[in-house]
Amino acid sequence: MVEYIDSIGTLVFAISGALTAIYKKLDLFGVFCIAFVTALGGGTLRDILIGNTPVGWMLDLKYIIIIFIGTVLSILFNIYLEKLRISLFLFDTIGFGVFTLIGIEKGIEKELHPIICIALGTLTATFGGVIRDILCNEIPVLFRKEIYATLSILGGVLFFVLLSCKLDMDLIYLLSSLFIIAARILCFKMNWSLPTGSAFVKK
């Protein structure tokens, strides 16, 4: 199940990156590159940091195929995909939750400290978007008001709390990912956000 959701998350992240590149009027190669870094940037950086080389997508060409499909769909149907932004947000959120846990799992495999594992999970889920925004000359969503990386961190904390309770691993993965997904949807619906730095500046 996680493998299928991982593939869906990769596809949606790729579409998200490709649509951003299209709106920035990049050429076809640029659109593919932005789709690629959005979908795989976080995981690639994670693998390099923990010494997992060659990185994951170099060992499994399905990721390249998925990103290519996402790029083509974005180019051909970008007008229709724009109308499906809510649906894309949902899939993006599912991928966000799953990618967080995949990053944590990679850290556990390397027997790293829980705090480092949570950092790896957050990096996996968010840094593809950071790279995308930087390349497209935007302030990354991660550094703006939207509650984004914070949810990944909280989900990671919940993961290790449940792990200490010695629950079944499948249940731990399910509850942790559902928490991240539900929390992000709730924040989106309620328009909750973190205060900006300017809120603490004395006038």
Rounded to 10 deg, the angle between the 114-135 and 28-50 helix axes is: 160
* Distance in angstroms (rounded) separating the CA atoms of residues 83 and 70: 16
Give residue limits of the domains in the chain.
2-192
Q: For 133-188, what is each residue's pLDDT tens digit?
A: 899 888 877 676 567 788 999 999 999 999 999 889 889 988 998 999 899 889 88
3-state DSSP assignment of residue 167: coil
Quick check: 46 and 106 in contact, CB under 8 A?
yes
* Between 9 and 70, the higher pLDDT residue: 70
Q: For 53-76, what is each residue's pLDDT tens digit?
A: 899 899 999 999 999 999 999 888
pTM here is: 0.84
